[in-house]
Amino acid sequence: MSVDALNQVIRRAILDFMNEIGGEQSDDTLTLLLKQRGHPVARRTVVEQMRWLAAAGLILVEEVEPFLLAQILPDGEDVANGHFFYDGVHRHAVRRKVGTAR
């Protein structure tokens, strides 16, 4: 899988988690959730993808050292729910419901 394709999957997974959990999420929490779901990503990568999603208007980010906090925006919710497709974000959900067995 190319780096670009992998980043698209990571972006979609971030939106899926944020939509499912709600509220503000930190880069640290999202990194742990991604690792639990089999996406072995560095926190730095998650921060980069969160910033990309913010630039796209899908999430809102705030720097609260040492964390980057994010909140999903309406367009981000639409992407996570499959109602809106955004170039650069994987089109298909890449997660199971939090708390469900494999």
User: CA–CA separation, 67 vs 79, rounded Å?
Assistant: 24
Q: Which domains does the chain have, with CATH numbers?
A: 3-80 (1.10.10.10)
Strands 59-64, 25-26: pairing kind: unpaired
Rg (CA), the chain: 12
pLDDT at 80: 93
The per-residue pLDDT for range 65-98, each reduced to its tens digit, is 999 999 999 999 999 999 999 999 998 876 554 4
DSSP alpha helix (H) spans, the chain:
3-21, 27-36, 43-55, 74-80
7 pLDDT band, cuts 50/70/90, is very high
Q: What is the pTM of this model?
A: 0.87
Written as one letter, the residue type at 22 is G
Q: Are 79 and 58 in contact (CB under 8 A)?
A: yes
